[in-house]
């Protein structure tokens, strides 16, 4: 029987208290991670996830973190290391999805997207890389991006700007630290069925409780992206099973960029 993919690894999941991040944290634990730290702003949800991971047999830590504050973003790494002794893998899953076009985005909204969707993962990567280089240890980072970073809808202007920036930072960091054996990849996910997406659809697009059923009927595979399926691939990329792959930004969607009818 194959060894679990993350056997003995210590993993940090930003945004790990809900949605895709929670699915990644649970998958990491199920694949043998020795310890999993999750971050988020909601302490009740964070403690729920921590308790459930520990009940399942994995050392777990919840760190209340507002990623808009770069000091807290950095501290999520150093606090994880202080508690567990080391860090091997990072999944940057947190994200802001509020809407804005080029004509109605004010600087405050733009800055919020840059802070959470670009600056926070940038400095989380930096702190993790610093730790790994200092230990002389290999490691792996996966950044959750968006298929929208290729261009996106008009109402996603600041979101697209930030995610496209993170795609570039992912490649840059991977190139800079390939000789340190630190692998860094990104995943451009498409429309995904999460509770957060339900809130977004209702808040910004006037969707009803049947939004998921309607959305699923209008996509090629008859369903939106599933957090558990994406989490499996994230953990694969974090693990040694993904071999030497680094600097890749992989589209995870059912619509093909550049395709046309």
> Which helix H or strand E contains 61, and what residues bound it?
strand 59-64
Q: Are the C-beta atoms of residues 119 and 70 closer than 8 Å to each other?
A: yes
Residues paired with 120 in a beta bridge: none
Residue-wise over 143-156: b if at least 16 C-beta within 10 A, else e? Answer: bbbbbbbbebeebb
In angstroms, the Cα distances linking 123 to 56, 90, 92, 118, 166 are 31, 12, 11, 9, 11
Residues paired with 63 in a beta bridge: 39
* 62 annotated active-site: no
Q: Are the C-beta atoms of residues 113 and 96 closer than 8 Å to each other?
A: yes
Q: Are the C-beta atoms of residues 228 and 23 closer than 8 Å to each other?
A: yes
Catalytic residue among 62, 84, 122, 159: 159
Neighbours of 207 (CB within 10 A): 17
Rounded CA separation 38/60 (Å): 8
List the one residue out of 8, 16, 55 whose CA is nearest residue 35. 8
Catalytic residues, by residue number, are 159
């Amino acid at each position: 029987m194959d060894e679990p993919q993350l056997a003995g690894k210590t993993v940090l999941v930003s945004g790990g208290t809900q949605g895709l991040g929670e699915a990644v944290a649970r998958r990491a634990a199920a694949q043998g991670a020795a310890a999993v730290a999750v971050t988020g702003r909601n302490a009740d949800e964070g403690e729920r996830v921590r308790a459930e991971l520990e009940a399942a047999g994995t050392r777990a830590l919840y760190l209340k973190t507002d990623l808009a504050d770069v000091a807290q973003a950095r501290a999520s790494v150093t606090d994880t290391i202080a508690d567990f002794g080391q860090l091997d893998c990072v999944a940057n899953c947190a994200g802001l999805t509020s809407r804005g076009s080029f004509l109605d985005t004010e600087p405050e909204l733009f800055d919020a997207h840059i802070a959470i969707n670009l600056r926070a993962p940038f400095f989380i990567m930096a702190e993790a890389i610093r730790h790994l280089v200092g230990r002389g240890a290999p490691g792996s980072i996966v950044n959750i991006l968006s298929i929208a970073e290729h261009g996106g809808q008009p109402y996603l202007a600041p979101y697209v700007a930030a995610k496209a920036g993170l795609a570039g930072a992912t490649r840059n960091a991977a190139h800079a630290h390939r000789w340190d054996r630190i692998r860094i990849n990104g995943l451009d996910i498409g429309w995904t069925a999460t509770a957060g997406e339900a809130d977004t659809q209702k808040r910004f697009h006037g969707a009803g409780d049947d939004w998921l059923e309607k959305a699923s009927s209008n996509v090629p595979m008859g369903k939106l992206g599933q957090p558990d399926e994406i989490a499996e691939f994230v953990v694969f990329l974090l693990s040694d099973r993904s071999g030497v792959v680094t600097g890749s930004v992989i589209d995870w969607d059912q619509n093909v960029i550049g395709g046309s009818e």
